[in-house]
Amino acid sequence: MFRAVVAGHVVVAASLLVAGCGGMSASRSAELPKDVKALARQSLSQIDGDLKVAGLQKPVDVIRDEWGVPHIYAQNADDLFFAQGYVMAQDRLWQMEWWRREHEGRLAEVLGPAAVERDRQARLLKYRGPFDDSEWTSYHKDAKRIFTAYASGINAYIAQHGDNLPVEFTLTGIKPEPWTAETVVLREPAFGDAVSELRLAMDVAKVGVKEANRRAAPDPWDDLTVPDGLDVTLITDEVVAAARAGGGRGQSLPRPAILEQYRKLLPNSSALLLPVSDIQDLGSNNWVIGGAMSPTGKPLVSNDPHREVSNPSLRYIVHLNAPGWNVVGSGDPPFVGVSMGHNDRVAWGLTITGTDFQDVFVEDLNPANLNEMIYNGKPEPLKVVTETINVKGESPRTVELKFSRHGPIFFVDQAHHKAYALRSIFTEPGTASYLGELKLDQAQNCKEFIELAMYWKANSENLICGDVDGNIGFQASALTPNRKGWLGRLPVPGTGKYEWDGFRAELPKEYNPSRGFIATANHNINPKGYWPPVMFKTTNTLPYDRITRILQVIKPGQMFSMEDSQKLQRDVYSLRGAADQAAFRGWTAKDPDVERARDMVAKWDALLSVDSVPAAIYITWRRLPEQSARAGEASASPRHEAIEAGLRKTIDKLTADLGADWSQWRYGRVHTQAYPHPLLKEFDLPTVERRGGNGAVGADGATYREIIDVSNWDRSLTINTPGQSGQPESPFYGNLLPLWANDQYFQMTFSRPAVDAHAAHRLKLTP
């Protein structure tokens, strides 16, 4: 059951529906509203009636259904993607502006000096061209035209609403700038697997190769070899910290300042930090059931990609319809196209593969000139780029960015004349995240889908599909380096001995497997005998991984329905909890309270249910540092005294946090999800109690789910959270949160009759 932990508005009043339907006048009232919510209502987007928009060729219909999903009907592709940009700006312009600033390295302009290092790293890692056909046509033959149309739609909204932008722009004075096709293909400023390489090298230095490898427990197994010439003792916490210097999404930053004239509207706000998600079990699940196991005789495609839970959502559901295009589903910022969903022939989903497409190269610097590296025994100049970072409240800062032949240099060890460079596919053409979706959006069958998936160069995904002819398939994606003679698990010297030798033409895939279904959950998808692997997982967690549970539930030859898929997506059985229970059985604790807790965990059904007291006791115990440190030990090992001491700490903590009444120690109270607005707590949505998570298939980060019936597209189900719109006070700002909190779905309408039957708002965009 949906439980709001703190006060907030989720069920939107009828008055807000009215406010969101007609739009407001082009200019904001000169009189200051009584509060920020009234201010927000003044800038809500028009979602009904007629609206003239410069840049369109022909009229476009935008039908928003009762859940806030826009169904865009255009008469040509240019207008379709123009309208997608316009509609996205209507609902998510503040989020898009933030995405843009983060990826361009321009946060310090509005946040001040705290964001300078984040900006420096973003600029260090950004794609620097070429912007030619090698870039554009990798995504789609018409990609540059599509991206230009999309950017033009965003710009049309900005130009048309320059004096009445969403409330966050009004409160901060930040002005969105025009987009270009190049904006759409900004790369993810991330280090990915590089940090794991550095940490493994540090473990080798501490405990030796064999022990470090035993602890890592690579899956598939590999006898770890230290690359010739690599001195692992030189790799320190300082090097790792440099790789993490920009912080990524895990770094807290100050919120943008509120303009003086609006501060009196905010008596309760404080200068908090931008929220950081605390979800612990990011991951994804997907499966496709073949027709022989499906009650309909056609495939069923299920997907719940797990990412951080945020407000607004990272996901946005849209339906795009024009000649040559008819696709519905979800995408990520900057939202052009659809990255998971279905067209009128094929349905698909994705989970992260974990492909290793980054490497750390340790360059030998010339002691006589630290702007030169030694390559194949000869000095070679580094590329030096000077950039200026504008900083709010300070003079601009000049930063010097250095690049070796292998990539951007993120750390220099002057004492040992070493430089650490990142080699990444994100410097290659066609590697903007998710945009390979455009080819998939037009796939006509699973065989074609698998072929086109090789153009999905980033991020690395397990792409599954099912088509109307009954075929199912899987293709691992991402531009994947060829490494000859080495595997990329450790950093390598940049001397010339270790290099990428192009990219792999064959990646793991399946087509109509005899088992009758395909399932992935971020596990080891390397086929038996496939070497070198595209990535390494670990066997340390395999007994408790989501894929283990999924394969317990989906069995070859057994029918598996839409209802079964819903049940599995919501499955909260804890494999680790069930395994750990053995250590709680067969003995008695001396302390009566500890014995009570031990007995409850021993008899627990291993379900992470909202109202479960033993689940709360177990998870609180499991989170103790001493338990995490022993996670690799056999769960049934004789450690009764340690468990008793841990349970005593658990009881003390739960009593301090939740009170002395054990009946109130519900799992939902120790497992909550907050929805802070990125700027003002006046716009926060309720914190909710959650079931699942902590390794269950029903995970915390499943903000978007889809279950697609290939036999009847209109029977398909989906969910997003907390809502489609990022504009506070919109009818679609938090309307989906109660559904998501209760693990419910809504209809993913596709046919025009179904769309019309659920239409809530109709907007006609005209030239």
Residue labelled with tokens 């270790």: 498
Q: Where are the alpha helices (DSSP H) in 659-734?
A: 667-670
Banded model confidence at residue 5, pLDDT cuts 50, 70, 90: low
DSSP 8-state secondary structure symbol assigned to residue 573: B
Beta-carbon contacts of residue 170 (< 8 Å; ≥ 6 apart):
28, 39, 43, 262
Query: What is the rounded distance in angstroms from the CA atom of residue 513 to the CA atom of residue 464?
Result: 12
In this predicted structure, what is the pLDDT of residue 15?
32
> Same CATH fold, 575-607+609-670 and 195-214+228-253+358-427?
no
The topology (CATH level 3) of 195-214+228-253+358-427 is Penicillin G acylase, beta-roll domain (2.30.120)
Q: Is 50 exceeded by the pLDDT of residue 249?
A: no
| Residue 24 confidence (pLDDT) above 70 | no
Share of the chain above pLDDT 90, in %: 87
For residue 62, give every residue at least 6 positions away whose Cβ sits within 8 Å of its Cβ, in sequence order, or none. Answer: 47, 70, 71, 72, 73, 83, 87, 762, 763, 764, 765
pLDDT of residue 267 exceeding 90, the answer is: no
Instruction: Please report which confidence band the pLDDT of residue 3 belongs to, taking 50, 70 and 90 as the band edges.
Output: low
- pLDDT for res 251: 61
Start-to-end C-alpha separation, the chain? 47
Confidence of residue 2 (pLDDT cuts 50, 70, 90): low
- Residue 459: cis peptide before it, omega within 30 degrees of 0: yes
pLDDT of residue 625: 85
Instruction: Output the DSSP codes for 474-492.
Output: EEE-S--EEESS--SSS-E
Q: Which residue from 250, 161, 66, 245 is spatially nearest to 739, judged by alpha carbons?
A: 66
Collapsing DSSP to helix, strand or coil, 523 comes out as coil
Could you tell me which residues come within 8 angstroms of residue 523 by beta carbon, excluding any fewer than 6 positions away? 537, 542, 545, 546, 547
The DSSP code sequence of 312-365 is S-S-EEEEEEETTEEEEEEE-TT--S-SEEE-SSEEEEEEE-----EEEEEEEE
Q: How far is CA 714 from CA 32, 85, 562, in A?
A: 46, 25, 13
Tens-place pLDDT, residues 406-448: 999 999 999 999 999 999 999 999 999 999 999 999 999 999 9
Name the residue with tokens 């309208």: 83
Residue 581 DSSP label: G
- In the structure encoding, which two tokens stand for residue 198, read together? 């550095």
Burial class (CB in 10 A: 0-12, 13-18, 19+), 661: exposed
pLDDT of residue 630: 53
Q: How far apart are CA 490 and CA 488, in angstroms?
A: 5
Answer for the pair 707, 745: CB distance below 8 angstroms, yes or no: yes
pLDDT value at residue 333: 77
Tens of pLDDT, residues 41-73:
999 999 999 999 999 999 999 999 999 999 999
Instruction: Annotate 425-461 with three-state secondary structure.
Output: HHHCCCCCCCCCHHHHCCCCCHHHHHHHHHHCCCCCE
The most confident of the ranges 19-28, 83-92, 635-644 is 83-92
**Average pLDDT, rounded, for the chain:** 92
User: What are phi and psi for residue 263, nearest 5 degrees?
Assistant: -65, -30
User: Tokens 């998808």 belong to which residue?
Assistant: 525
Q: What is the pLDDT of residue 638?
A: 57
CA 409, CA 407: separation in Å to the nearest integer? 6
CB 700 within 8 A of CB 279: yes
Q: 120 to each of 252, 413, 436, 557, how far by Cα in Å?
A: 16, 19, 28, 54
* Residues 6 or more apart in contact with residue 106 via CB below 8 angstroms: 100, 119, 390
Write the pLDDT tens digit of every residue in 550-570. Answer: 999 999 999 999 999 999 999
pLDDT digits (tens, 9 = 90+) for 283-325: 899 999 999 999 999 999 999 999 889 999 999 999 999 999 9
Residue 62 CB: number of other CB atoms within 10 A? 23
For residues 56 and 63, what is the distance between their CA atoms, to the nearest angstrom?
A: 17
The Cα 268–Cα 389 span in angstroms is: 33
Q: What is the pLDDT of residue 355?
A: 96
Residue 99 makes CB contacts below 8 A (sequence gap 6+) with: 333, 334
Q: Are 157 and 86 in contact (CB under 8 A)?
A: yes
Tell me the C-alpha distance between 703 and 448, whole Å: 29
147/184 Cα distance (integer angstroms): 7
575-607+609-670: in CATH 1.10.220.10: no
22-47 mean pLDDT:
76
> Phi and psi at residue 250, in whole multiples of 5°?
-85, 0
**Which residue, chain included where needed, has tokens 């390489």?**
197
List, for residues 351-392, the tens digit of each pLDDT value. 999 999 999 999 999 999 999 999 999 999 999 999 999 999
Q: What is the pLDDT of residue 11?
A: 33
Question: 190: pLDDT confidence band, cut at 50, 70 and 90?
Answer: confident
Task: Check pLDDT > 70 for residue 710.
Answer: yes
Print burial letters for 512-546: b (CB count within 10 Å at least 16), e (below 16): eeeebbbbbbbbbbbeeeeebbbbbbeeebeebbb
Looking at residues 583-605, what average pLDDT do you find?
Answer: 97
Distance (Å, rounded) from C-alpha 91 to C-alpha 154?
A: 11
The single-letter code of the amino acid at 113 is P
Whether the predicted pLDDT of 21 surpasses 60: no
Neighbour tally for 26: CB within 10 Å:
10
Dist CA 180 CA 101 (whole Å): 14
User: For residue range 137-184, what is the model confidence (pLDDT) as tens digits?
Assistant: 999 999 999 999 999 999 999 999 999 999 999 999 999 999 999 999
Omega within 30 of 0 (cis) for the link into 722: yes
pTM equals 0.94
Q: Please give the pLDDT value at position 244.
A: 86
Q: Domain ranges in the chain?
A: 195-214+228-253+358-427, 575-607+609-670
pLDDT of residue 269: 58
Residue 39 host element (H or E): helix 36-42
Give the span between the Cα atoms of 232 and 224, in whole angstroms. 13
pLDDT of residue 262: 93
Place of tokens 């940490």: 199
The answer to whether 458 touches 431, Cβ cutoff 8 Å, is yes
- Return d(Cα 595, Cα 577) in angstroms, integer: 18
Q: How large is the average pLDDT for residues 331-347? A: 94
Three-state SS for 59-98 is: CEEEEEECCCCEEEECCCHHHHHHHHHHHHHHHHHHHHHH
CB neighbourhood size of 232 (10 A): 19
pLDDT at residue number 283? 81
